[in-house]
Amino acid sequence: MNIEWYIVLSALLFATGAMGILIRRSPMVILLCLELMLNAGNLALVAFSRMVGNGQGQIFAVIVMVVAACEVVVGLGLIVAIFRRRLPLNVDDLRELRG
Amino acid sequence: MSATAWAWLVLLFPLLGSIAIALGFRALPQKLAGVIGTASIGLAFACGVAALIGLLGEDPGARHHASSLWDYASVAGLDIKLGIYLDQLSLFMVLVVTGVSTLIHLYSYGYMQSDEGYHRFFSYLNFFVFSMLLLVLAGNFVLLIVGWAFVGFASYALISFWYRRETATRAGMKAFVINVVGDIGLVLAAFLIFRELGSFDYGTVFEKAPEVFSTNEWTVTAICLLLLVGAFAKSAQLPLHTWLPDAMEGPTPVSSLIHAATMVTAGVYLIARTHVLFALAPTAADISAFIGLATLLVAATIALVMTDLKRAIAYSTMSQIGYMVVGVSIGAYSAGMFHLMTHAFFKALLFMAAGSIIAAMANEQNIDRMSGFGKAMRFTSVTMLCGGLALAAFPLTSGFFSKDEILAYAGARGGMYLIFVVLGYFGAFLTAIYTFRLIFRVLQGEPCLEARELIETGHVHHAHPFNPATGEQEDTDVGFPGPEHHIAESSAPMRVAMAVLAFGALFGGLIQVPGVDNVVSDWLDPVFTGPVLAHVHPSIAWDWIGLAIGGAISLLGIWAAHWLYIADPEAPRRLETRFRGLHDFLFRKWYFDEAIDLLVVRPALAVGRFSNRVFERFVVDGLVSGTEGGVRGASGVVRAVQNGFVRSYALLLIAGFAGLALYFLLSSS
Amino acid sequence: MEAVLFFLAAIGALGGALGVIAMRNPFYSVLALIVHLFSLAALFLLLTSAFVAAAQVVVYAGAVMVLYVFVVAYVGGGGESAWEPIPGQRFLAPLLGIALFVELAVAVLSSSLLALGTDGPDVNAGFGNPAAIGRLLLEKFLLPFEASSILLLLAAVGAIVLASNRRQTS
């Protein structure tokens, strides 16, 4: 298969994830969309690794997975903390940092 | 030490005196401040004499030196040094200024004793002397302008010395504003000189001027006319003279020093110093001479009806300076400067005597209320008589020789200048009349209340302090005159000063008797080489004829005054009623103040109001508020981006990324 | 054959993605993401990256998603109101998404990136298997490996701090 297909699919998934962040308001779902974007990046990395012929892209993808896991852990911890404080779980309502 | 080194010291001592008194005014006891002030000027006079001795040891043709301390401004094409120019003319002025100033400082030591602002007075007075010496010794036009401006400031500070008096502060402002008008003329003249001749330095300018300018070319005429604007503002000639009578609001020593002997003569000095330029522009010189003549006559006529003692003497000053201006404008430079010197003596003396009398009257200045002080104050009246005789050019006094020398020169030039002779003698006649009008009114007759008090008790009359011009009540705190009034009879320093000046007024003319000795003209003539207005030397015979005519006119004038004020006391009142219109015209000072108010002050105020209401409100404020509004609007729009919504930030981020990607796609295709 | 599998996996991935962004209930979004992840694992297998595929299933779909499930169960998931407070967001978001995709696609498919049009070189049998990955991790990429383990530690500590009960303020 042409690698192109994989890259285009990755771009499509990335754009979908980006659109999701812009549309959804629940922090949970926004984190899920972030996962989408990360995975799209992973797909591109692995495709390039196959195209070039060495395993560097795959290593990169594994490290990305580790980072994604860390990010999820911290993000979900934030959500739990917000929920515990009885604040609304809505990014539009959490906007103290305004000009 | 060289003569120029002494000249620098002349400048240094008054400056040090002024600074020392100013900085130590809290610590210095009153008498010490007075001593420091007087001694610094005395030292300056001594240094001036030393410089004179230095110059005397040189060849008359080589007695001019320029000396500079350091570069003041040295940029492309411009080279101004902090330099002085010592020659016979500037040294002459230095000696006159420091000599008379020392005596006036001595006088003030006694006169101002009970004033709360004693230290301030001496500091300002020393600063004034420093500025005047700077003006006189300056070696280039820039430093001249600096000295000119300082002198104007010192005059303002001293006129409004009693600053809590509204009349005094207003008079100070009036003097300063009119002086600034003169400053503008002077500065423009300096610009023109630099543009045409490329330098500000006296030596360079006066050397190059005859080569660059042809006679009566419009540039050199313009320069001279602008210099005249400056000179006339400073020397109170028509039409910039209205500040001088109001300047009498200052203390009497101030009137005596600044507005009689020194500052008002700066204009005369300026014309004499730039004689090369005036010789190249005879038209301007003639205009100057005619304005001097006009001032002479106008001021003399006003002095005939003035009732305020100091203002009458001020108009007399204006008139005598008219003589000096005529002198230096027709080419009689030495004569004009000689008259400057003698005038300094007798006018300062007259003011000192007037100060003593006003003190005896407890600050009353109206001569209608004064009489009979001849019996009450012997010393003052004798010295006043000496000054009056010299002013009226009584035979063999100093004024006799100096005034008539100018008129003799005019006569020798002949042609159009004979009008100066005729009108000059008429002015001398009026001078004699108004001088002795004052003397007879104040000194003769039955002693008035204050004089009687002085005769009987020996104490000066005491009245509640008041403003002599408006009559409103004052107190004697700082900013107002002090509580005690010092008359010459009770104050030794005042007597010493007045005695020295009386001697000079009576016998100072003997150094320039035509045909006998020519001290002044021998000293000054080498300065006025190069292009001159006329190569005229009045013969000695004509000199003596002129002196005889002058003496006769002076005696005639004194006799006329005697007839009007002593022999027939009702005559003045009869004349006044018969010539009511003329009297009012003269009493209102030829309506000059009103004319200036109409022509200058009101339009200026109208422009100011217009600027405030229209220009300031709409244009300036509009521009500023418009900018402010624009910025506020723009920042409001920008601020709206920071709305706190994470999603909108994400939107902007992705939009930016998409934009960048688009740009790169397009640029690489 | 390969193409068919590719398209199946691609549809699965895309469907999962669309499900994530479209579902109202966050729990359904999580489930959609799990589907997406499995499809991605299939795609990795198609690219002969066996280890990455396995890691995807075990770590991502297994551990990370379980975390998500726990939190969604704890937090619950309400719907979101229909009203959009930011003007223009509902309009611009799909626009930008499409613009982004188009630009990336154009960049990828344009004539200058020639290498993408290939199938890639023939690789030996050991490409992408754990041994190869392990060798790379411990030889060439030792530093990133260690650094990411420190990162994991930091994340764990951070999460504990975030979620702990603060006696004073809560």
Nearest to A6 by CA among A38, A45, A54: A45
- Cβ–Cβ < 8 Å for A31, A72: yes
d(CA B596, CA B615): 26
Q: Are residues B496 and B618 in the same domain?
A: no
Least confident interval from A43-57, B471-485, B496-510: B471-485
Residue B244, in any domain of the structure: no
Reading the block at residue C38, the tokens are 């499995």
d(CA B186, CA B188): 5
Q: Is the dihedral of CA B280, B88, B11, B255 positive or negative?
A: negative
Cβ B661–C112 below 8 Å, yes or no? Answer: no
Domain hosting residue B411, numbered range: 3-238+250-587
Mean pLDDT, range B99-112, rounded to an integer: 92
* Residue pLDDT tens, chain C, 170 long: 888 999 999 999 999 999 999 988 899 999 999 999 999 999 999 999 999 999 999 999 999 999 999 999 998 776 677 777 787 788 888 999 999 999 988 888 876 666 666 777 777 777 888 888 998 889 989 999 999 999 999 998 988 888 777 666 54
**What separation, in Å, do the N-terminal and C-terminal C-alpha atoms of chain A show?**
51
Q: Tens digits of per-residue pLDDT, B203-223?
A: 888 888 888 887 778 888 999
Residue B78, in any domain of the structure: yes
d(CA C170, CA C164): 10
Cβ B669–C110 below 8 Å, yes or no? Answer: yes
Dihedral through CA A82, CA A88, CA A89, CA A94, nearest 10? -80
**Beta partners for B85?**
B66
**Chains in contact with A via at least 3 Cβ–Cβ pairs below 8 Å:** B, C
Cβ B661–C85 below 8 Å, yes or no? Answer: no
Q: Are residues B604 and B502 in the same domain?
A: no
Phi, psi of B162 (to 5 degrees): -85, 80
**Domain limits, chain A:** 3-84
Q: Are residues B598 and B522 in the same domain?
A: no
Give me the residue from C59, C94, C163 closest to A81, CB to CB: C163
Nearest to B538 by CA among B451, B638, B410: B410
Q: Are residues B555 and B658 in the same domain?
A: no
Q: Are residues B290 and B272 in the same domain?
A: yes
Kindly give, in sequence order, each residue whose CB lies less than 8 Å from that of residue C37, ignoring residues fewer than 6 positions away.
A39, C16, C56, C57, C60, C61, C65
Q: Tens digits of per-residue pLDDT, B119-136?
A: 999 999 999 999 999 999
Q: Are residues B602 and B466 in the same domain?
A: no
Geometric angle at alpha carbon B358, from B354 and B359, rounded to 5° = 115
Reading the block at residue A83, the tokens are 């929920």
Reading the block at residue C160, the tokens are 């504990």
Domain end call among B567, B587, B607: B587
Q: Are residues B367 and B393 in the same domain?
A: yes
What pLDDT does residue A99 have? 52
Least confident interval from B379-383, B616-620, C107-111, C115-119: C115-119
Q: A97 and chain B: CB distance < 8 Å anywhere? A: yes
Give me the residue from A3, A16, A70 closest to C152, CB to CB: A70
pTM exceeds 0.80 for this model: no
Residue B638, in any domain of the structure: no
Tally of structural domains, chain B: 2
What pLDDT does residue C79 have? 66
Kind of pairing between the strands at B65-75 and B78-86? antiparallel
What pLDDT does residue C115 have? 67
Q: Name the pLDDT band for B186 (thresholds 50, 70, 90).
A: very high
Nearest to B179 by CA among B149, B157, B158: B149
Residue numbers in C near A75 (CB within 8 A) = none
Q: Are residues B468 and B388 in the same domain?
A: yes
Higher pLDDT, C1 or B147: B147
Cβ C162–A74 below 8 Å, yes or no? Answer: yes
Cβ C6–A13 below 8 Å, yes or no? Answer: no
For residue B583, pLDDT over 60 is answered with yes
Measured in angstroms, the CA of C29 and the nearest CA of chain B are apart by 19
Higher pLDDT, B39 or B641: B39
Least confident interval from B22-26, B460-464, B630-634, B645-649: B460-464
Cβ B658–C96 below 8 Å, yes or no? Answer: yes
Search chain A and give the residue with CA nearest C54: A62
Mean pLDDT, range B55-75, rounded to an integer: 84
Q: Are residues B523 and B574 in the same domain?
A: yes
Residue numbers in B near C84 (CB within 8 A) = none
Which residue in this structure is represented by tokens 């515990």?
A84
> In B236-332, where does DSSP find H-type helix?
243-246, 252-256, 266-273, 275-280, 282-303, 309-330
Give me the residue from B647, B658, B661 closest to C89, CB to CB: B647
Kindly give, in sequence order, each residue whose CB lies less than 8 Å from that of residue B71, ignoring residues fewer than 6 positions away.
B79, B80, B81, B82
> In A1-99, where does DSSP find H-type helix?
3-23, 27-52, 56-84
- Cβ–Cβ < 8 Å for A74, C155: yes
What pLDDT does residue B598 have? 86
Mean pLDDT, range B559-583, rounded to an integer: 81
Instruction: Say which DSSP state B615 is in.
Output: I
Q: Name the pLDDT band for B539 (thresholds 50, 70, 90).
A: confident
- Cβ–Cβ < 8 Å for B320, B394: no
Helix axes B88-111, B492-507, angle to 10 degrees: 150
Search chain A and give the residue with CA nearest B638: A99
Q: Are residues B559 and B607 in the same domain?
A: no
Q: B658 and chain C: CB distance < 8 Å anywhere? A: yes
Instruction: Say which DSSP state B184 is in.
Output: H
Search chain C and give the residue with CA nearest B656: C96
Interface pTM, i.e. ipTM = 0.91
Higher pLDDT, A44 or B533: A44
How many CB contacts within 8 angstroms connect chain A with chain C? 236
Q: Are residues B492 and B616 in the same domain?
A: no
Mean pLDDT, range A48-74, rounded to an integer: 92
Residue numbers in C near B643 (CB within 8 A) = 86
Question: What is the CATH code for A3-84?
Answer: 1.10.287.3510
Q: Are residues B187 and B313 in the same domain?
A: yes
Label each residue of chain C as H, E or C: CHHHHHHHHHHHHHHHHHHHHHCCCHHHHHHHHHHHHHHHHHHHHHCCCHHHHHHHHHHHHHHHHHHHHHHHHHHCCCCCCCCCCCCCHHHHHHHHHHHHHHHHHHHHHCCCCHHHHCCCCCCCCCCCCHHHHHHHHHHCCHHHHHHHHHHHHHHHHHHHHHHCCCCCCC
Mean pLDDT, range B264-276, rounded to an integer: 91
Phi, psi of B66 (to 5 degrees): -110, 140
Give Rg (Cα) of chain A.
Answer: 17
Residue B259, in any domain of the structure: yes
Residue B636, in any domain of the structure: no
Least confident interval from B190-194, B389-393, B618-622: B618-622
